[in-house]
Structure 1
């Protein structure tokens, strides 16, 4: 779509509807994540190191499959449209989630997490649909707003999951999650309006020779995709051990599942507040500034989390992590959108999801392995170090980010 068509498209209507859908999906994805390691511990008699290791495998299984299939789904989205991908992802993952509530051992759980990865892509396709229809001058704010949908859902999810896990069982949350994903699929199928024109690929066209040939600055695209992987690697490495870390800080006493849910939800509060504002600031003053400052802020917030002895201090620092997430993820997506031709929108978002999935997979394995070999606090220190390394990679490999940051 050209800019005139984007202005006339129902991009605002779709943004509002998909905000609701990603909000529901965010609840579905997040109400289980803080308790997955606790669920693993219920499936057998495992040592601390074994629980950490199997938790890492459970998280990584989904993301390994997602990394492999995402480009294929992106190619199909170019042919069939993003709306059908939303429907495919929501109902497929609902089926996988329902079966997870019935597992009897950890290997069944790992297999079904892999099946979930096969059907993944709801939020990334929602982002691609909005990016492909929104006028570029509004893309930063629109994507920042859309991110608050999934983020606010992820804010509510751990709290809801914590209450359910405390008063019912963790298994019940899988069935509720399946229902929520099915609801998101129904809303997407009935309310989202996509004016889709299939991407025509000529045999001798430039785009047929490769994805990167379509971009004016392919190096920027590459470093942004790598940045997606590293940011997600750092963030997700916390997921397999956060509830276990909280359990240790609480000395194995009190409503651990509920507190873990609240702590997991805290970054969402600050993310909801910060993401649209940071997106609008980036549209007006340069997304580069938001991105580079976000990295530095994340490093400063992650290091102390490895040394806390109070659950309250951990909660405060997790709250501030939401601000850095609000700067990093939407801004990377915005820079990808602003530096991509319309013909590559689905492809670049699919590759972005693949790199995000690789970050999820490696982060899950890294978090579980470091916690098993050393202790939980090492995971937070390693995350800060990785984000600092990512900042330096951007600074030295892509001058456009550094020069604009200095202005």
Structure 2
């Protein structure tokens, strides 16, 4: 099957997956209050629990599903995750209490793993000279879905109600599952010699976290995800301050947030091409450092328009970080380990997603909103400097696993 056809199908899948997720998450607090009867003064507590439980469970399950994808097949794991997420969204739409919603979100975390499964499939089909482009397009699709989701979710919630939004998201995940089942073939596995089989068996016993390059990149992913998610609890409030009014603040926040997403969707494939030509590690360091600088600069404006321009600029550069990391992992790892590696990367992102909002809320409450941007930007810049000054140069290859 043509890699271009695979890329087209998986790109559509990722847009649907990301949009389904982001069309629901911003409205969870309102769902708790309006549909599940949670008192307004308890909504923040329940929102935090419901929001975090999925990340915690998926962080635990990510490496397990990744390992199974290496053994049982990447397509099977994509189908499993797509079907499981469809069921989870449906359950979220029929719950009648916050505790039931928490359990449904926990099941969502258990079913998670569609994104790393899609990446693993694409990495197996992508030609070496097109790897960066493919990873960039996939990241752009993820970002594009993140832009479409909140806008679509707001419209659906206002017209049909929030429960219907969950059912539509479940249908979208069902469509992804059917498309994967019908059109995607299990990536071909290269026939191995007895010696290569022995190496692969030894590789399965290796603790990937003990390999310096993988460990450093996972640590980098935790910090990056934490730095971006730090902003989530305070972004709407900060935009209201810059606008000097609470009028239309939800709409303005959606527009400003979407600017970074639009920029990322545009620039991700371009960064992928740049990394292919000039090196993915170099691209990662550049985009990470400039993203950090722009985040720090976002603490300076006192009006909304300069802040929005900087948000767009941040999206342009941030979009090059994860395609570069994913491309490095693909280029430096044996094919039989990629499910495990992408599973670990997914878990690292979930850990960062859990920690980030908590840290951002604390800094914004006790120090000030501007310092959230300074802290997040400094984290990203220092991570880039650390990676550049002490690069994870050890390579992962079959000989290493055989030793």
How many residues align? The count is: 388
- The equivalent residue for 1:45 is 39
- In the alignment, structure 2 segments of 5+ residues that lack a partner are 395-403
- The answer to whether the Cα contact below 8 Å between 2:295 and 2:373 also exists between their aligned partners in 1 is yes
Partner residue in 1 for 2:374: 381
Cα 1:226–1:269 change in 2 (3 A) is: same
Q: For the Cα contact (< 8 Å) 2:124–2:187, is it kept in 1?
A: no
Matched residue, 1:124:
116
Q: CA deviation at 1:51?
A: 5.1
Aligned with residue 234 of structure 1, among 216, 227, 240: 227
Name which of 145, 154, 165 aligns with 2:137.
145
1:366 matched to 2:359? The reply is yes
Q: What are the Cα deviations for residues 10-37 of structure 1, in whole angstroms up to 9, with x where unaligned? A: 3222111101111111211111233334
What is the CA distance between 1:167 and its match in structure 2? 4.2
2:165 and 2:244 mapped to 1: Cα distance?
A: 26
Indicate how the Cα distance of structure 1 residues 203 and 12 shifts in structure 2: closer, same or farther if over 3 A, else same.
Answer: closer
RMSD: 2.8
Which stretch of the first structure deviates more once superposed, 35-44 or 381-390? Answer: 35-44
Q: Shift of the alpha carbon at 1:286?
A: 1.2
Q: How far apart are the structure 2 equivalents of 1:301 and 1:176?
A: 36
> For 1:206, which of 202, 205, 230 is the aligned residue?
202
Answer yes or no: is the 8 Å Cα contact 2:63–2:347 preserved in 1: yes
What is the aligned counterpart of 1:23 among 3, 15, 34? 15
Q: Is the 8 A contact 2:116 2:339 kept in 1?
A: no
Q: 1:280 aligns with which of 255, 273, 282?
A: 273
Q: Which moved more, 1:239-248 or 1:149-158?
A: 239-248
When residues 313 and 112 of structure 1 are mapped into structure 2, their CA distance, relative to the original with a 3 A threshold, is: farther
TM-score by structure 1 length? Answer: 0.86
Shift, 1:104, TM fit: 4.4
Match of 2:350 in 1: 357
Does structure 2 retain, via aligned residues, the 8 Å contact 1:306–1:377? Answer: yes
Q: Does 1:325 align with 2:321?
A: no
1:391 to 373, 384, 387: 384
Q: Distance in 1 between matches of 2:308 and 2:51?
A: 23
Q: Summarize deviations over 1:76-115 as a string: whole Å, max 9, x none.
A: 1112211111111112112212222344444433332221
Match of 1:206, SS? Answer: helix
Find the partner of 2:328 among 335, 343, 348: 335
What's the CA shift string for 1:320-340, capped at 9, x where partnerless? 221222110111101111111
Question: Contact 2:81 / 2:114 at 8 angstroms: preserved in 1?
Answer: yes
Which whole-Å deviations, capped at 9, do the CAs of 1:26-61 have from their partners, x for residues lacking one?
Answer: 2111112333344455553344xx655544433321
Distance 1:251 1:101 in 2: 36
Structure-1 residue corresponding to 2:401: none
Q: Secondary structure at the match of 1:238?
A: coil
Q: Distance in 1 between matches of 2:200 and 2:322?
A: 35
1:99 aligns with 2:91: yes
Maintained 8 Å contact 1:250/1:311: yes
